[in-house]
């Protein structure tokens, strides 16, 4: 089976906030191995940290933060957003208005715009995800979506990559930038410095570094003039 090493996509946090926790090994870990031990890593990190929410973080009073969430220095969580289920927000992350972050890792200085929903996803440093982006983490092809059975599998140049779990959204590399109204996952690995234009739906594959992903309709727009109502002069009159 091909390998997907996290360090090929994202940079481990250099802020000392996560020193001494398993997250310091992030870059050297293989994706399927990380997904298998993610919850155990997080339990260890919570036990080792003296302060799970850094005192310099600013969280809006209307935001909801789960009791098992780790929030680093200078993080901003804006109005009506929810961060839960063992998520990690590294130093200088910004989570915009009305977002939902569930069981996800956001690398240093990454930015979520407004109305973004991500689940079981890893985001690299300096990524910028724009409005109305969704990352799905479960396959609709399971016999019943409340009893998940369908393993998430990615297509890679070296063959099929098995994630070993029915719950995985995306691995989004450092400095990835997206447009708005985008649907990603389940099962996606975006290389560093990728750009995704508005309207894209993408899942179950790896995308090389520096790629540009565009929806066909962005270049296939046709504009024609409607006929004038009867009795009204045309624009050329």
Structure tokens at 227: 């006929």
Buried b (16+ CB within 10 A) or exposed e, 9-26: bbbbbeeebbeebbbeeb
Domain ranges, ordered by start, for the chain: 6-212
Residue 74's CB is within 10 A of a number of other CB atoms, namely 16
Helices (H) and strands (E) in the chain, counts: 1, 24
- Average pLDDT of the chain to the nearest whole number: 89
pLDDT of residue 237: 46
Work out the pLDDT band at 229, boundaries 50, 70, 90.
low
Burial (CB count within 10 angstroms: exposed 0-12, middle 13-18, buried 19+), residue 163? buried
Minimum mean pLDDT range among 57-61, 66-70, 71-75, 225-229: 225-229
Measured between alpha carbons, how far is 90 from 167 in angstroms, rounded to an integer? 22
Tokens 């140049």 -> residue: 157
Q: Is the pLDDT of residue 84 over 90?
A: yes
CA 139 to chain centre: 16
CB neighbour list of residue 84: distance below 8 Å, 6 or more residues apart: 64, 65, 66, 69, 100, 101, 102, 103
pLDDT tens-digit map of 150-199: 889 999 999 999 999 999 999 999 999 999 999 998 999 999 999 999 88
The mean pLDDT value for 9-32 works out to 88
pLDDT tens-digit map of 21-35: 899 889 899 999 999
Domain 6-212 fold is UDP N-Acetylglucosamine Acyltransferase; domain 1 (2.160.10)
CB neighbour list of residue 9: distance below 8 Å, 6 or more residues apart: 122, 124, 171, 172, 173, 174, 189, 190, 191, 192
């Amino acid at each position: 089976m091909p390998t997907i090493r996290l360090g090929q996509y994202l940079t481990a946090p250099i802020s000392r906030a996560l020193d001494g926790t398993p997250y310091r090994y992030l870059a050297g870990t293989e994706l399927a191995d990380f997904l298998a031990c993610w919850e155990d890593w997080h339990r260890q990190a919570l036990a080792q940290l003296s302060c799970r929410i850094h005192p310099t973080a600013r969280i809006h009073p209307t935001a909801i933060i789960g009791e098992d969430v780790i929030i680093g220095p200078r993080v901003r969580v804006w109005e009506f957003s929810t961060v839960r289920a063992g998520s990690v927000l590294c130093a200088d992350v910004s989570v915009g208005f009305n977002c939902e972050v569930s069981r996800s890792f956001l690398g240093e200085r990454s930015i979520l715009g407004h109305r973004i929903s991500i689940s079981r996803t890893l985001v690299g440093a300096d990524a910028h995800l724009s409005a109305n982006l969704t990352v799905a983490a479960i396959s609709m092809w399971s016999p019943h979506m409340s009893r998940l059975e369908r393993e998430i599998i990615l297509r890679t140049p070296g063959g099929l990559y098995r994630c070993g779990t029915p719950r995985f959204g995306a691995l989004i590399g450092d400095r990835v930038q997206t447009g708005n109204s985008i649907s990603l996952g389940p099962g996606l690995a975006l290389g560093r410095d990728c750009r995704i234009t508005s309207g894209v739906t993408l899942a179950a594959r790896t995308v090389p570094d520096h790629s540009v992903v565009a929806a066909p309709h962005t270049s296939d727009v046709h504009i024609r003039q409607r006929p004038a109502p009867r009795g009204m002069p045309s624009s050329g009159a």
